[in-house]
Structure 1
Amino acid sequence: MTSGSPIRLVFCITELDLGGAERALTQLVLGLNRDEWEPHVICLGPSGHFVDVLKGEQIPVICLNARGIASLPRILIRLTQELRRLRPALVQTFLFHANLLGRVAARFAGIPHVVSGIRVADHRSRWYGRLDRWTNSLVTTNVCVSQGVADYSADVVGLARSKLRVIPNAVEIERFANAPPTDLRSLGIPDGSRTFIAIGRLERQKGMDLLIDAVALWKTIPDDVQILIVGDGHDRDSLQAQVAEHRLTDRVHFAGPRQDIPGLLKSACALVLASRWEGMPNVVLEAMATGRAVIATRVEGVPEIVRDRVSGLVVSPDSPADLRSALEWFAENPQFVESAGSESQRIVRESFTTEATCKAYTNVYRTLLSRK
């Protein structure tokens, strides 16, 4: 399939702001062999951080500027028009709205193959699963980021297992392994502190409220232990109020959205993921690439990357008490934390490289395009 002109692919995603799915799409697109593939990217929303990254590498990007649910009919028409103009051999979609509109637009445009990226076991609403199931006849293959997501998609959503493939996320290992540490004093953290860091949207899924409750349950916190929460979202004000209510303002710090995540991870002693549900959390892979041990809830994707009592601790979701016990155990066992960080980095070097993920996706594309 490498003879002749490169094969045109369209990658469609809901938005291209900073985020795990957005970074994963960017890594995949930039990792493609341009002698074989000609990638184009369509973003349903306005321009975001990764638009400039992609354009800087000569990848054509179109932003359709969706503005809420009311604009979706207009966006569907525009997306169909762009697919008819580009005539790709295959459309790859990422995130719920792009998955839904992308598969419908591809059918209207006569595109024969649609690969849908399922990146999370979405517990928010049954309607998400129903819409996915009702339109999945328009999809050729669903790529799930973890076996946990594949099992959820089959057992709960009701998608056909024959259409499900598992390709895990990747991480830019050297970017994190070689990052210079960030000076945390500017964030209110005293010099010499052992900092547990939590990174993610400040929304219910990520369980930041559970982490704050866990710290509140920790009655004998060592003097040098601090908690740093990085990110923004709808729950920011309520989380800050929760910290104040528990009188933890000298222990729990909010950094807001940041672009120096590798440096922040390098300055922390461990990552805490308190999520209620996931897919395969990129931030865990990033922490592991940095050489950091991980405390994480037993949600989709986590048991496939974090080895309990080897590279970190895996605890029950929705349990502040279990989180508190893990935090306390880490604080009391610094030698384990150091060795678990080294093991974490070894695991991602072996199994979660960008090269391996790109190869897996292109194998899916080649298989589909070889069919008549």
Structure 2
Amino acid sequence: MTGDDRVDLWLFVTALSVGGAEKTLVDLANDLDRERYDVTVWTIFEQNPLADRLDDHVTLRTLGVEGVTSADHAFAVEGAADPLDYARAPVRFVRAARRDRPDVIQSFLPSDNILARAAGVACPDTVVITGVRLVPTGEDDIRQAIDNWSSRFADHVVSNSAAGARFVRDYGVPEERVSVIHNGRDLSRFERDAPEGLRDGLGLPADAPVVGTVGRLIDRKGHDELLDAWVTVRDEVPDAHLLVVGDGPRRAALEARASDRGVADCVHFTGLRDDVPDLLAAMDAFAFPSHYEGLPGALLEAMAAGLPCVATPVDGNSELLTAYETGLFVGVDEPDELAWALVRVLQNDAFATDLGDAAAARARHTFSLDRMTTAFESLYERLLADSR
């Protein structure tokens, strides 16, 4: 420890890209008790778009790896510019850990999980906590397969969903070394009205019903089904508009799909935005037709904003929403069901309001940032006491 009453805590992630795990890490780092924890955020890559969101008391250190990004999604690091860095980075991190001897190393994603466990082998007095953020986790990927297999070598594994906890236990991690700590958000940020002029700036008519979705433009988020469903929604609710917030490698293909379906005039791709709470306030309903998830921050934020949510009942989504109480569920890859559910909430104001109010109440009760931070602090203290 750095002192009799302080804990040297390292939070380790591949990069502070714009994603759910990374946002959760930043919120946790900022919210931890600064009288108790000396917090250092470590990243593998130098590119860290969310770095400016870290509070001044949080230290940022990197392993100095230059990452490669693409024009399609510059916020995400695809890999190292120099392949030799895949060998250099682990050595650098293990050396830093052996030199500084942190009390706790906590990692979040597959690459950093593997490096954190390697550091734990070199520093047996350091408590190593690794993470499970997504189920299924791509066992056909060699890196993910190594992460799955090596999970048993962490002192503890934290999943943001019950499904993730079951998944890691199947890989041989004893139940007593697995915890579920749900994602949390500063929910007060989502209790607002849309700023004046926002809709106009987005090309949305002032009185039009607006369905929105937020997330990376990648296959598993279900944007194709949403665009297919939108043809029917538009037939039933002719003045409705769709707001697609986020960026990613499939943006051009999705824009082409909207054009092919004849709905390009009422589908708005915003690209990457840093004003998501304002954008949620401009929506009337939220669509989240994912193929699989961990515990999605985007859906949690929509709940906090009081939006009626239509989602697929995959692992993380089903832990956030309850059918016909806080949202509606539709089948994966079922655009007809998705269209029916969206039309229902758009055409029934009272029903939509009830769903949105119940979703907001559940978010406040169960998924606050304070609740998440308290759970992590309790885990750190328990594991440190057990290690002495």
Residue pair 2:234, 2:240 contacting (<8 A) in 1 also = no
| Identical counterparts, % of pairs | 30
Aligned to 2:279: 264
Residue pair 1:8, 1:39 contacting (<8 A) in 2 also = yes
Note the residue ranges of structure 1 that are not aligned, 5 or more in a row: none
Q: TM-score, normalised by structure 2?
A: 0.90
CA distance in 2, matches of 1:177, 1:126: 41
Aligned to 1:59: 58
3-state SS of paired residue (2:11): strand
Distance 1:152 1:171, change over 3 A: same
Note the residue ranges of structure 2 that are not aligned, 5 or more in a row: 68-78
Q: What does 1:296-311 align with in structure 2 at a 5 Å threshold? A: 296-311=311-326
Deviations 1:98-123 (A, max 9, x none): 11222213323445321112111134
CA distance in 2, matches of 1:345, 1:325: 23
* 2:105 is equivalent to residue 106 of structure 1: no
Q: CA deviation at 1:237?
A: 0.9
Q: CA deviation at 1:53?
A: 2.2
Deviations 1:120-144 (A, max 9, x none): 1134343355312321232011111
Residue pair 2:243, 2:270 contacting (<8 A) in 1 also = yes
Residue pair 1:265, 1:287 contacting (<8 A) in 2 also = yes
Q: CA deviation at 1:276?
A: 0.7
Aligned to 1:16: 16
CA distance in 1, matches of 2:30, 2:43: 16
Residue pair 1:308, 1:314 contacting (<8 A) in 2 also = yes
Distance 1:2 1:346, change over 3 A: farther
Q: CA deviation at 1:317?
A: 1.5
Distance 1:27 1:219, change over 3 A: closer
3-state SS of paired residue (1:190): coil
3-state SS of paired residue (1:148): helix
Match of 1:320 among 314, 319, 335: 335
Q: CA deviation at 1:5?
A: 3.5
3-state SS of paired residue (1:250): helix
* 2:210 is equivalent to residue 195 of structure 1: yes
Q: CA deviation at 1:89?
A: 0.9
Residue pair 1:201, 1:231 contacting (<8 A) in 2 also = yes
Residue pair 1:121, 1:153 contacting (<8 A) in 2 also = no
Residue pair 1:145, 1:167 contacting (<8 A) in 2 also = yes
CA distance in 1, matches of 2:319, 2:218: 24
Q: CA deviation at 1:364?
A: 1.1
CA distance in 1, matches of 2:57, 2:122: 28
* 2:289 is equivalent to residue 274 of structure 1: yes
Stretch moving more, 212-221 or 346-355: 212-221
CA distance in 1, matches of 2:177, 2:229: 40
Deviations 1:147-177 (A, max 9, x none): 122223334x564434321110001111111
Query: How much is the aligned-residue C-alpha RMSD, in angstroms?
Result: 2.1
* 2:76 is equivalent to residue 76 of structure 1: no
3-state SS of paired residue (2:45): coil
CA distance in 1, matches of 2:255, 2:50: 29
Residue pair 1:123, 1:277 contacting (<8 A) in 2 also = no
Aligned positions, number: 370
CA distance in 1, matches of 2:156, 2:293: 21
Residue pair 1:289, 1:348 contacting (<8 A) in 2 also = yes
